[in-house]
Structure 1
């Protein structure tokens, strides 16, 4: 007897239950993304951050090498868009890498609000899809001619605008020395933004005064990862994979 004949002979109530079960399985398959399919107890997930300097990236190989998250350069100032951002952002997603965008700040060139809007409109926005981190604000390369008070105001302007656009707190990327020199160890972001700290060649990073702890730590600028031909920045996440997913999904 063929399958079609068997199905036609099933009692109507049993057939309804069977079809409902098939639909439920299909729905679960759609909802179970690569990010959520893995154990959430994995401690200190490994990550990278990239830009066009890394050239073409094989994101499937990157993911297979154990990289779970990435920040990808999207913009700089108010006119520059990284030429590889679109490919990196899309391919990382389909490889199951939890990724977010970052903006290289140029505070001496325009207001924080102007740069936040440019960033949010050029790939830095956020969506609750289990694979998108909040955007990051890259603060480095000197104080850009601003006083400490002006820099504080600029950062807050960027933060407020980005949050109004996306509903998320922007991640702050910086070093302890930059934060001290350019903001005077400002405490104003401690309860607002997670910290992504850069400190290479040490066993534990110096946390900038003004932040309680680090969320991500860029521990080298000379890492190696399968799928990337040259050197790449590498990062640790401070917590389990469950906490990484909570950061991505804006959940407790």
Structure 2
């Protein structure tokens, strides 16, 4: 392949429109390789970290290989090509040459904007550009401020680079168990493919949330996760604590028939403060019959007798607002004789198998209307309502900005919660062990701020 021809063509075409960003849900975008695409490159195959980016750009005719079957993923990119591709992706438009080199106008533009100095760019636009300079160029062209957070890279501490990392634009690599950026190495063809796509995404859509290879727009008015990870600590007993000054916590479990017979006094003696007990569920099949949890009455009375604070949850398979209200009415009737001091929770979870009534998820609008309808009726009956979800449901199935009247219960089984938005209770494990329960049990941390 003629490398100069590639550089000029790539610069001219560098993402004038969104490159390979396909809508998944309203407000979400995903890097999607076209259906039926087969890599023509021997050295670009599924499993390579750069595969999707190269595949998308190649399918659009923006990048090509050498003509011998190779893409040359590790080959360096010239400084001129890096300037043109990054600046165009960040919205500079086409800039005419100012001297003999075809990329000279972009070099002068970068200097005039304060992105890089003429000394950093150098006199040889056909030479290599260290990747740290490409990172600073990208960050400044996107209008990012240098991050004050600790660098994720062991070999460089640069606020602009850290800002790019926090935006999902760069990730680095691993060497000897450490995350490195290799700041003085030239940028490679594989790396520029990733960076150019990411820069254009941020320029077009702004800051987004990356989850499972999909980018989600940040919702207006929804508080961001404000917990400080350094205060989370799991003890040798498997119990999580959070010690930030000014934040109180309580530890508890949620249970159903699957935990069998429970010795609730042992649970209380083990340090549990509360229990969320399943009151019932809707069947998975098309009929969607509402059923009680056969251990509900025994569990709730025994938990109360042991001195625990108690709430309940209903495992919903509702597909209409009317069904959600039916579930709320059922819960209200079942709990009327008990003193609930913890929330009544709407727990909707998809069941992905043939014949499941929730295999096809209702629209985001319907999901929000169902959750609100359930919670409105629970609140009207004098109880605190809450909505339960895992990150996938929180990002994909709900628009959390429509549920702001109610607290959130997050299920995420990590050492720290990485969900972008704020929440009031965290289910941090489904394999907890608590005295008085013979098998695994969900354990939760409730926050009071």
Whether the aligned pair in 2 keeps the contact of 1:198 and 1:205 (CA below 8 Å) is no
Whether the aligned pair in 2 keeps the contact of 1:103 and 1:138 (CA below 8 Å) is yes
Once the two structures are superposed, the pairs formed by residues 12-31 of structure 1 within 5 Å of their partners are: none
Once the two structures are superposed, the pairs formed by residues 48-63 of structure 1 within 5 Å of their partners are: 48-63=253-268
In 1, Cα distance between equivalents of 2:255 and 2:349: 16
138-147 vs 46-55, which moves further: 138-147
72-81 vs 56-65, which moves further: 72-81
2:426 partner SS: strand
- Of 321, 325, 329 in structure 2, the residue corresponding to residue 113 of structure 1 is 325
Q: Report how far residue 45 of structure 1 moved.
A: 1.6
Q: Report how far residue 122 of structure 1 moved.
A: 1.9
- Of 433, 436, 441 in structure 2, the residue corresponding to residue 227 of structure 1 is 436
In 1, Cα distance between equivalents of 2:290 and 2:417: 36
Structure 1's 115 and 107: CA in aligned 2 closer, same or farther, altered over 3 A? same
1:139 aligns with 2:366: no
Gaps of 5+ in 2: 1-245, 283-288, 353-357
Structure with a larger share of its residues in helix: 1
In 1, Cα distance between equivalents of 2:433 and 2:417: 20
1:61-98 deviation digits (Å, cap 9, x = unpaired): 00000000110000112521000010100000010110
* Count of equivalent residues: 190
1:149 aligns with 2:369: no
Structure 1's 205 and 95: CA in aligned 2 closer, same or farther, altered over 3 A? farther
The equivalent residue for 1:70 is 275
In 2, Cα distance between equivalents of 1:86 and 1:61: 18
The equivalent residue for 2:101 is none
Whether the aligned pair in 2 keeps the contact of 1:223 and 1:232 (CA below 8 Å) is yes
Structure 1's 126 and 238: CA in aligned 2 closer, same or farther, altered over 3 A? farther
66-75 vs 112-121, which moves further: 112-121
Q: Report how far residue 137 of structure 1 moved.
A: 1.0
2:319 partner SS: coil
Compute the TM-score of the two structures, normalised by the length of structure 1: 0.69
The equivalent residue for 1:93 is 304
Q: Report how far residue 134 of structure 1 moved.
A: 2.4
* Superposition CA RMSD, Å: 2.3
1:159-195 deviation digits (Å, cap 9, x = unpaired): 222222x223411111121122212x330112x1111
Compute the TM-score of the two structures, normalised by the length of structure 2: 0.40
Structure 1's 175 and 69: CA in aligned 2 closer, same or farther, altered over 3 A? same
Gaps of 5+ in 1: 1-40, 244-252
Whether the aligned pair in 1 keeps the contact of 2:342 and 2:384 (CA below 8 Å) is no
* Deviant stretches of 4+, over 4 Å: none
In 2, Cα distance between equivalents of 1:58 and 1:138: 25
Structure 1's 70 and 205: CA in aligned 2 closer, same or farther, altered over 3 A? farther
In 2, Cα distance between equivalents of 1:198 and 1:102: 14
1:168 aligns with 2:383: yes
Q: Report how far residue 203 of structure 1 moved.
A: 1.5
The equivalent residue for 2:285 is none
Structure 1's 161 and 215: CA in aligned 2 closer, same or farther, altered over 3 A? same
Q: Report how far residue 204 of structure 1 moved.
A: 2.5
Q: Report how far residue 153 of structure 1 moved.
A: 1.6
In 2, Cα distance between equivalents of 1:46 and 1:52: 21
172-181 vs 213-222, which moves further: 172-181
1:4-40 deviation digits (Å, cap 9, x = unpaired): xxxxxxxxxxxxxxxxxxxxxxxxxxxxxxxxxxxxx
- Of 356, 367, 374 in structure 2, the residue corresponding to residue 158 of structure 1 is 374
Q: Which has the larger radius of gyration?
A: 2
Whether the aligned pair in 1 keeps the contact of 2:390 and 2:410 (CA below 8 Å) is yes
